[in-house]
Structure 1
């Protein structure tokens, strides 16, 4: 993958050189400082604090019906060298007309409408070395064509290269319970070069939006196979159908996500299912101008159901309750608090996130996480990983 990123980066620099000669481009950078403070440790090797730096560079150039966009990401961690990584998040060429759009290169695509889980978000691989919510994604090489139709659009994807997850070594924070072999196994004889494909139909009817999407290719979620005391990630082939729906009625938003997945049965462990079904159903109500102020307060509730075992994933029979506070100020200040409660064994996770701008070029983000897994719930491996995370970002433009 390093060779692939290096090749893209070389093309990236050549494109920037040609862009610079035209003096028609937009470049800006995000410099970040992160500090994590933990409340406990699972072993003597785990530090109670962790500091890191990040550099995120964005590049954009547009002329006529064409556009080039790029994003280069770098993480440098003081205590944990495994978090050090460089990633080409995005670098793609965009060509668009009156009713179509071509996107070719490395990009990120988000699918989903619910707050507590994104069941249908299947295009990009999760960056396991970054955030805890699974929303940080690696760039995915793709050919992406969009066609506008009545009341919506149809999208087709060809995904020629797969990127496996990276895992921390055992003993580190957020690491799996065993050491992982650095070499992954694949169901496909083409290994990482299997050509995946996807299609998505989106429709808009006034206050009602819905979409249906189908994916065929390499599963982004690995099955861990044991080799003695070592685990090895295995990426099987799968077919997945996803549906999202959202309806807005006055101050209410009703949301739903459904996922149906078929795995190749012959590659599964004994405790894995060949057919997976999961759903998230929820609603959000926004109270505008609480206590005669400019603040808006949102109330969220979502139910999660998944037929997989609770030792493998979250959300088998869980209830999410949260609140979102928007200050509606010039600094875009906001805060969200959410609790995910397992209705079967009472395991819980709590998440608090807040952000605000500090002037024109600085942003502050604060997040806190608490985990209380019980029994054989997957969440139990995070029981001593409660943390407070503070991020401060500075933005610079050319």
Structure 2
């Protein structure tokens, strides 16, 4: 069996796990599950990967102004491949008084309004072992100070270090054309992954408009890659930089207009910007069935048009999400990202539903097709896969 990599300092886990004993009131729940992923086309990939997964969640009040929150996720592969780890996604203390709140520990922060991808979600590293489309985040060490005014929230973040992307077994290509050796990752900062980053954010709402603007200084979460010709592998390199960004969502009836934009100044590379324009339309019950259906259309643009490592530089996302309001909490998602230059695309179909009070099953199919070698999607053409999971909640 693969060795389990604990990707956070154990002291924080010990503190978080000890907190419930002193809490006035606390909750405890979670799940255990089994996953199977079958790669359908690419000979370099392991054709099947089987994993055991689990998560423990707890939270409660310690005093009138102090509380704790814990969300501990872990997985181990059953076939000896790398990719096993434990992640304290959330393990924090929260102090609240009046309009002020301070969080200290590991936390998960989400920014963004778009559905297919997000360019402003820059605080947490992505968990690509768990989710092929980077929807899941890894816990981030932080001290976050927030001030809540009637119509605006001001947030300041101190981020002492971050987690590198985990590329699992070196047999995986992750749509990059070559396997990645993340054991040899390099950093532009002299203190490596322990570099302290900073961020500020202002968010609020005016009428039907919700918005957020931020500034970030530190280690950019998405690495650049250097080719090692001797081993024919890619070596991640994490660079320093500054970025500013904004998000906005305007709601009018069942129609939502969305925007995300970010401009990045890497210390050792050219400035670039990325933006998303989108719309969501929400439909209520269909033919008398209690449900909610959302239709999505988004356009992605990145100024690095000539960089083949940038996958979504001039693309369109089309998708739908169907939620059935029944005892099974059924959700169906269908989405596709299409390159407007040459028609290359990557899409997914996902179904998730409860099959009993405590059991939930999920199925996902991912398919990609690309023929233009200069397109960032070209190396994803052979990652077609089927994914099935079964989770028992307690």
Q: TM-score normalised to the size of structure 2?
A: 0.92
The 5 Å alignment of 1:239-278 reads: 239-265=242-268, 268=269, 274-278=270-274
Paired position in structure 2 for 1:49: 48
Deviation at 1:223, TM superposition (A): 1.2
Give yes or no for contact 1:212–1:242 (8 Å, CA) kept in 2.
yes
Assess if the C-alpha contact under 8 Å between 1:169 and 1:175 holds in 2: no
Tell me the CA shift for residue 316 of structure 1.
Answer: 0.8
Name the stretch that deviates more: 249-258 or 351-360: 351-360
Query: Aligned partners of 2:27 and 2:170: how far apart in 1?
Result: 42
After superposition, residues 206-285 of structure 1 pair within 5 angstroms as: 206-229=207-230, 230-265=233-268, 268=269, 274-285=270-281
Match of 2:194 in 1: 193
Aligned residue-pair number: 384
Matches within 5 A, 1:283-294: 283-294=279-290
1:244 and 1:259 map into 2 onto residues whose CA distance is 9
The aligned counterpart of 2:384 is 386
What residue ranges of structure 2 are gaps of 5+ in the alignment? none
Residue 175 (structure 1) shift: 7.1
Question: What SS does the corresponding residue of 1:7 show, helix, strand or coil?
Answer: helix
Residue 342 of structure 2 is aligned with which of 337, 341, 345? Answer: 345
Residue in structure 1 matched with residue 60 of structure 2 by the alignment:
61
What is the correspondence of 1:44-123 to structure 2 with a 5 Å cutoff?
46-63=45-62, 64-123=64-123
In structure 1, what is the equivalent of residue 9 of structure 2? 5
Structure 1: distance between partners of 2:126 and 2:135: 7
211-220 or 174-183, which deviates more: 174-183
CA distance 1:34–1:193, shift in 2 (3 Å): same
- Partners of 1:306 and 1:280 lie apart in 2 by 9
CA distance in 2 between partners of 1:73 and 1:346 (Å): 38
Q: How far apart are residue 47 of structure 1 and its match?
A: 3.9
User: Which deviations, in whole Å up to 9, do the C-alpha atoms of 1:221-244 show, x marking residues without a partner?
Assistant: 111123433432211111111110
Q: 1:164 to 1:346 in 2, by over 3 A?
A: same
| Bigger Cα displacement from structure 2, 343-352 vs 353-362 | 353-362
Counterpart of 1:83 in 2: which secondary structure? coil
- Secondary structure of 1:86 counterpart: strand
Q: Is it true that 1:307 corresponds to 2:311 in the alignment?
A: no
Matching residue of 2:185: 184
Q: C-alpha separation between the residues in 1 aligned to 2:360 and 2:235?
A: 39
Unaligned runs of 5+ in 1: 269-273
2:379 alignment partner, SS class: helix
8 Å contact kept, 2:8–2:88: no
User: Do 1:212 and 1:244's aligned partners in 2 also have CA atoms closer than 8 Å?
Assistant: yes
Q: 1:183 to 1:50 in 2, by over 3 A?
A: closer
| 337-346 or 382-391, larger mean C-alpha shift | 382-391
Would you say 1:295 and 2:294 are equivalent positions? Answer: no
State the alpha-carbon separation in 2 of the partners of residues 384 and 3 from structure 1: 29
RMSD of equivalent CA atoms: 2.0
